[in-house]
Amino acid sequence: MHIGIAEDDPDQAALISLWLEGAGHTVRAFGTAAAYIEALKKERFELLLIDWMLPDGTGADLLQWARSNLGWELPVLVVTSRDDEKTVVAALQAGADDYVVKPPKPLELLARVAALGRRVRSGALPVLRLGAFEIDIQRQRLVLDGEPMVLTQKEFDLSAYLFQNPGKLLSRDHLLNKIWGINADVDTRTVDTHISRLRKKLGLDGSKGWKLVPVYGVGYRFERTDAQG
């Protein structure tokens, strides 16, 4: 897996990186919450490993940002120097999937990372049923009013992502990175073009119960409407 580490102690970050790389993972480490968030905006990680206390923020701050902007599918492991129940509960309630107490033991850390990886890989991809829409992510199939829709791969990827993130403000850059990847040779106009196509193909003007709302200067918000109940 490609793992992003937030750890302000350079020796600790280097040691954890060494353990993870030795287990076949790739890693990037960041010493501040600000640097970590900037990286998360541009780079796709398969697991986040976050120190609970950073010089410019807390693990809770990073978790809130990650869950709001990257969703809940991405596994997050918190590393904390405090093993009291209050801290552990706070980390889990903030959105952590698991935690490790400092100083981390290499075998335990690697086992927890592997367990989170298995959980993600083995989890059955959901079939989303939302009003007139049914989105089968496993079979790459979208049905509207009982009829399968003909979509390009990127149109399906974009529509599936929108239905998994209703109500969230999604910037053009965020959608570009999520659907096309950070190294794609396209610009944000590609997002607008695909949004326009989906609006027409899927009736995302509110008539089918969902609406793509443009947010000036930022991007889009995918919202439920009163139509279709």
Q: Residue 81: which CATH number? A: 3.40.50.2300
Residue 20, in any domain of the structure:
yes
Checking if the pLDDT of 227 tops 60, the result is: no
Domain boundary among 87, 105, 122: 122
Residue with tokens 């790739």: 26
Residue 188, in any domain of the structure:
yes
- The secondary structure of 98-148 as a DSSP string is EEEESSPPHHHHHHHHHHHHHHHHHSPPPEEEETTEEEETTTTEEEETTEE
Reading the block at residue 132, the tokens are 């007139």
Residue 229, in any domain of the structure:
no
For residue range 52-105, list pLDDT tens digits in order. Answer: 999 998 888 898 888 888 877 788 999 988 777 778 878 887 888 888 888 889
Domain boundary among 78, 102, 122: 122
Q: Are residues 131 and 193 in the same domain?
A: yes
Q: Are residues 146 and 46 in the same domain?
A: no
Checking if the pLDDT of 39 tops 80, the result is: yes
Q: Are residues 115 and 52 in the same domain?
A: yes
Domain range for 99 is 2-122
Which pLDDT band, with edges at 50, 70 and 90, does 229 fall under? very low
**Distance, CA of 33 to CA of 79 (rounded, Å):** 14
Please tell me the predicted confidence (pLDDT) of residue 181.
75
